[in-house]
Amino acid sequence: MVYDHPEFDHREIHFHQDKATGLRAIVAIHTAWGTPSIGGCRMRDYSDEADALKDVLRLSRGMTYKSVMAGLQYGGAKAVIIGTPDAKHRNNVLNGMADVVNGLGGRFRTGVDVGLSTADVEMMSSRSSYVVGTGKIAPDELTADGVLVAIKTAVRFRTGLNTLAGISVCILGLGKVGGRLAQLLIDEGAAVFGADLSEKQIADARSRGVEIVSVDQALRQRCDVFAPCALGGVLNQQTIPELNCSVVAGAANNQFASDADADALAKRGILYVPDYIANSGGLIAVAAQLGAETDDWARKKVRDLEHTLLSVFEAARSDRVSPHVTAGKMADERIARLNGRARH
């Protein structure tokens, strides 16, 4: 039963199947405050439906936390498409997903996520005005910019340094966000290691000056900052003892396999940047599009993540807990205020 699922505390869950197109999808709306609930559409070859449900529940909750910690008031949501269609059927599946979004009447807005390309989203947006993220600033661009802010802030908090020159960063996942982050870090004078399973992304990163390591080595690579920019759950009982860094700051969602892993990381003395703060640039880009805001507004919002993170780090140090715990408490307080306002 969904009601008994340990990750379920949501407003709405929608299950969709279209045998004609092969579409199987789940939409989860975690919170709604009179504004659209926002979250990307992810396409993955999940091991089973239970795996997809767990992912969409966790991701949609993360979108709520991302929104409130970025100073926004959009509800959190997410969509997942179960299975990756072949080229022949891909457009039909995506058009079917756009129809699903239309059926929710505007209370859910979606866009690019893992498994979808910008071209996919542009095609879907021609069928549904509720498919967003095609504004002047690409969400992945602003996501990478936000992770750079997070890394700079964490390094300065940890070391007192106001530069990334000479700082080493290992990026796990060199896709749209990780690849752009690598270039930004190199431009800042950092030494960048990187790992990915895609030969194309490896070649692109190597051409920029990234030193390529294996995926397994990335978790053990000696560096100042480890930046997980692929899928979630990378910080767990097996990997945390192997980390050889002083800061973790990346774009991946749900980086901890469980909340207990946050404590394990803190006990190792590694400073953690809460993922839903570090990677909130994509949501800010979408919010700018929805609110007809300027590029300057969006980029200022991303720069303001520095102040949010410093308040989290300082409170966590004072309370002697992980920043994961502190940020969660701050987010819960903001969510409670918005929930109270929505009931009146």
Q: What is the CATH number of the domain that holds 233?
A: 3.40.50.720
* Measured CA distances, 100 to 26, 39, 173, 249 (Å): 10, 14, 30, 34
Q: 189 near 165, Cβ under 8 Å?
A: yes
Tell whether 54 and 80 lie within a shared domain.
Answer: yes
In a domain, 25, yes or no: yes
Look up the domain containing 230 and give its range: 139-333
The H or E element spanning position 185 is helix 176-187
254 and 192 belong to one structural domain: yes
Predicted local confidence at residue 231, as pLDDT: 86
Query: Are 149 and 294 in a shared domain?
Result: yes
Q: Of 85, 100, 125, which marks where a domain is finished?
A: 125
Instruction: Please indicate, yes or no, if residue 130 is contained in any of the structural domains.
Output: no
Contact of 208 with 262, CB cutoff 8 Å: no
102, 125, 148 — which closes off a domain? 125
Q: Where are the beta strands (DSSP E) in the chain?
A: 12-18, 23-29, 37-38, 41-44, 75-82, 108-109, 168-172, 191-195, 211-212, 225-228, 247-248, 271-272
Residue 118 lies in a domain: yes
**100 belongs to a structural domain:** yes
Q: Do 187 and 325 share a domain, yes or no?
A: yes
Give the Å distances, CA to CA, from 11 to 5, 14, 25, 30, 126. 14, 10, 17, 5, 28
Task: Clarify whether residues 93 and 171 are in a common domain.
Answer: no
The reply to whether 190 and 324 lie within a common domain is yes
Does residue 184 lie within any of the structural domains? Answer: yes
Q: Are residues 158 and 192 in the same domain?
A: yes
Residues 190 and 120 in one domain: no
What is the structure's pLDDT at 330? 97
Q: Is residue 131 part of a domain?
A: no
202 lies in the same domain as 108? no
pLDDT at 137: 84
Residue 263 and residue 173 in one domain: yes
CATH number at residue 23: 3.40.50.10860
Enzyme catalytic residues? 78
> Which residue ranges in the chain fall short of pLDDT 70?
1, 342-344
Same domain assignment for residues 177 and 106: no
Residues 157 and 269 in one domain: yes
pLDDT tens across 141-197, in order?
999 999 999 999 999 999 999 999 999 999 999 999 999 999 999 999 999 999 999
The partner residues of 110 in beta bridges, in order of sequence, read 131
Count of domains forming the chain: 2
Report pTM: 0.93
Task: Confirm whether 306 is domain-assigned.
Answer: yes
Structural domain includes residue 206: yes
